[in-house]
Amino acid sequence: MRAAESPGCSGSAYRLEFRAGFAPGKILNYYSQRVSWLTQFQVHSVSDALSFRWAYLSGANLAAKKGWFRRLTAWLIKLLLGLMILSLLMVIALKFVNPPLWSWRIERYWFPPAPVTQVQHQVQHQWQPLTQISANMQLAVIASEDQRFALHSGFDLKAIQNAIEEKLQGERLRGASTLSQQTAKNLFMWSSRSFIRKGAEAWFTLLLELVLDKPRILELYLNIVEFGPGIYGVEAAAQHYFHKSAAQLSSREAALLAALLPNPWQYQIDPPSAYMNRRADWIQQQMRQLGRQTLKDLD
pLDDT of residue 14: 41
Task: Name the class of domain 101-296.
Answer: mainly alpha
- List the pLDDT tens digit at each of the 299 positions of the chain: 444 444 444 444 444 444 444 455 555 565 555 555 445 545 455 565 556 556 655 666 666 667 777 888 888 999 999 999 999 999 999 999 999 988 988 888 888 877 766 555 578 899 999 999 999 999 999 999 999 999 999 998 887 887 777 767 766 555 678 999 999 999 999 887 788 888 999 999 999 999 999 999 999 999 999 999 999 999 999 999 999 999 999 999 999 999 999 999 999 998 999 999 999 999 999 999 998 888 888 87
For the chain, give me the number of helices (H) and strands (E)? 14, 3
The H or E element that residue 125 is part of is strand 124-125
The H or E element that residue 189 is part of is none
As a whole number of angstroms, the distance between CA 269 and CA 241 comes to: 8
The H or E element that residue 219 is part of is helix 214-224
Helical ranges in 101-194 per DSSP H: 103-110, 118-121, 135-145, 157-168, 179-188
As a whole number of angstroms, the distance between CA 274 and CA 277 comes to: 5
For the chain, the distance separating the N- and C-terminal CA atoms, rounded to the nearest angstrom, is: 112
pLDDT of residue 83: 92
pLDDT of residue 113: 77
∠ CA 227-250-278, nearest 5°, is 65
Taking alpha carbons only, the member of 184, 143, 130 closest to residue 299 is: 130
Cis peptide before 215 (omega within 30 of 0): no
What is residue 247's DSSP assignment?
A: G
pLDDT of residue 2: 44
Domain limits, the chain: 101-296
pLDDT of residue 195: 87
As to burial, measured by CB atoms within 10 angstroms (0-12 exposed, 13-18 middle, 19+ buried), residue 237 is buried
Contact residues for 143 (Cβ-Cβ < 8 A; gap 6+): 258, 283, 286, 287, 290
